[in-house]
Structure 1
Amino acid sequence: MKTPPRLQSLVEEGLIDTVVRQLMSGKEAMVYVVRRGDETLCAKIYKEATNRSFRQAVDYTENRKTKNTRQARAMAKGTRFGRQAQEAAWQSAEVDALYRLAAAGVRVPQPHNFLDGVLLMELVANAEGDAAPRLNDVAFTAEEARAHHATLLTEVVRMLCAGVVHGDLSEFNILLAQDGPVIIDLPQAVDAAGNNHAKRMLLRDVGNLRDFFGAFAPDLLSTDHGPEIWALYEQGALTPDTALTGQFKHAEGPVDLGAVIREIGDAQDEEMMRRLRMQQ
């Protein structure tokens, strides 16, 4: 196929040879299957992120460092330069997270390069060598659901031990490769220690996994891994090899009404994004 303009610089730099086909087009990015020598890779071209609300963006970007004070001031004022800097920071956050998590042994696509707003990375494939499907496109037996759920909990723990929370983990951004699930889409990843919303996002990520696989294995619906994982993390007792029980005794006390309202708002945002992804 004809090389899209945004990929031309990668061809000129010798990072890719040819563009095979378009793999996916969403509101945040377009993904193409490309070739480099004997390798088949994928190229993710970022779009302007118009589907993120300001509140969501603030939650995810809290405590992210900017290159200089000029950028920080421009981003705070919402100037054109500031918006460009903010979008560049959003894109580089995924690149940084991928390199960090791949080094920690987390099952994510192996990044290869990042140039002109295009992320070149491993193509996650199924047993036939084709692009792997998302979890939401696959049906599982109860046994398979429990196995994949356990695998992904291990990956969430490994991510947290590396200091990262995905922030938007669900069946829509996990691929089922030949050798098991692979986590994708990390521009909203947050620093576990530096973001005040990290706990809430971790609990939501783990809850999404429970709810999805619980549709195939109902016994998973009674588990409570999220609070257990976060409590161990706060205690400094969490390691990638920590044995989880799925049980947690919640402390009794006054209800934080503000937190409840915030959770409702987050659930509404999540449902809206879920519907958008299903439409895509």
Structure 2
Amino acid sequence: MKSPARLQALIAEGLIDSVVRRLKSGKEADVYVVRCGDETRAAKVYKEAHKRSFRQAVDYTENRKVRNSRHARAMAKGTAFGRQQQEAAWQSAEVDALYRLAAAGVRVPQPNNFHEGVLLMELVADHQGDAAPRLNDLPFSDAEALQHHDTLIGEVVRMLCAGVIHGDLSEFNILLAADGPVIIDLPQAVDAAGNNHAPRMLMRDVDNLRSFFGRYAPALLATQYGPEIWSLYASGRLVPDMPLTGRYEHQAGAVDLSGVLREIEDARLEEAARLERMSA
């Protein structure tokens, strides 16, 4: 196929040899299968801000740090240069998260390089060596659903122990590789310790897993892994591979974390709807 303009630069640099095909077109990026020497990899080409349907919501960008003070000032002022730097920071957020999580042993694609808005990384493959499908495209038995849910809850814990929350985790951004689920799409990942929305985002990620796998294993619908995980993390007791119960008992006199988070989310949705009506 004809190489997209953004990938031609990588071919010229010798970072990739050829483009095999486009794998998917998403809300913030297009992904291509490429050849790099003897290896087949994935190349994620980030879309420019005005071409993306996904917006950099304050929930995700809150407390993201920019080391260069000049860049930070420009971003705060909203200048053309600042918007350019904000875009670069948005793209590099996924790269940083992938390296951080891969080092922590989380099941994410291994990053290889990042150049001119293109992320080169491992191509997650199925048993036949083809690009792995998303969970959303597959049916599961009760036993399979329980197994994959257990694996992914463990990955959520491992991510949180590494200080990262996915922020948009669902069946649409988890691939089923030959050796199990792999988590992808992390440009909206947030710092668990530095973002006020972190508890709600963790709960939403875990609830998404519960709702999806609960279609195949209804017993999961009664579980409360989100509050259990966050309470262990907040108290400094959460460690990777620790046994979890899926139960959470509200302590007398303690804040009902789940209830508070639901109220916050309801208020946010109401405000968003109000603003949309005003702009219509």
Q: TM-score, normalised by structure 1?
A: 0.90
Structure 2 counterpart of 1:263, from 260, 265, 270: 265
RMSD, aligned α-carbons: 2.0
- Give the CA deviation at 1:96: 0.3
Identical amino acids, percent of aligned pairs: 71
Alignment-derived partner of residue 78 in structure 1: 78
**Structure 2 segments unaligned to the other structure (5+ residues):** 272-280
- Give the CA deviation at 1:258: 8.1
Q: Which amino acid aligns with 1:51?
A: S
Alignment-derived partner of residue 144 in structure 1: 144
Distance in 1, Cα, partners of 2:193 & 2:256: 25
Give 3-state SS (helix, strand or coil) of 1:193's partner: coil
1:26-78, CA deviations, whole angstroms, 9 ceiling, x for partnerless residues? 2210110000111000100000244234xx62111111111322222222222
Alignment-derived partner of residue 218 in structure 2: 218
Alignment-derived partner of residue 39 in structure 2: 39
Distance in 2, Cα, partners of 1:103 & 1:180: 18
Q: TM-score, normalised by structure 2?
A: 0.90
* Number of aligned residue pairs: 267
Distance in 2, Cα, partners of 1:218 & 1:73: 50
Distance in 1, Cα, partners of 2:169 & 2:9: 32
Alignment-derived partner of residue 111 in structure 1: 111
Q: Cα gap change, 1:225/1:52 in structure 2, threshold over 3 Å: closer, same or farther?
A: same
Q: Cα gap change, 1:14/1:171 in structure 2, threshold over 3 Å: closer, same or farther?
A: same
- Give the CA deviation at 1:252: 5.8
Distance in 2, Cα, partners of 1:94 & 1:46: 11
Distance in 2, Cα, partners of 1:143 & 1:6: 43
- Give the CA deviation at 1:86: 1.1
- Give the CA deviation at 1:267: 6.6
Q: Which amino acid aligns with 2:243?
A: A
Q: Which amino acid aligns with 2:180?
A: G
Distance in 1, Cα, partners of 2:217 & 2:268: 26
Q: Which runs of 4+ in 1 moved over 3 A?
A: 251-262, 265-269
Give 3-state SS (helix, strand or coil) of 1:140's partner: coil
**Structure 1 segments unaligned to the other structure (5+ residues):** 270-280
Further displaced range: 254-263 or 102-111: 254-263
Distance in 1, Cα, partners of 2:239 & 2:256: 31
Alignment-derived partner of residue 206 in structure 2: 206
Distance in 2, Cα, partners of 1:95 & 1:26: 17
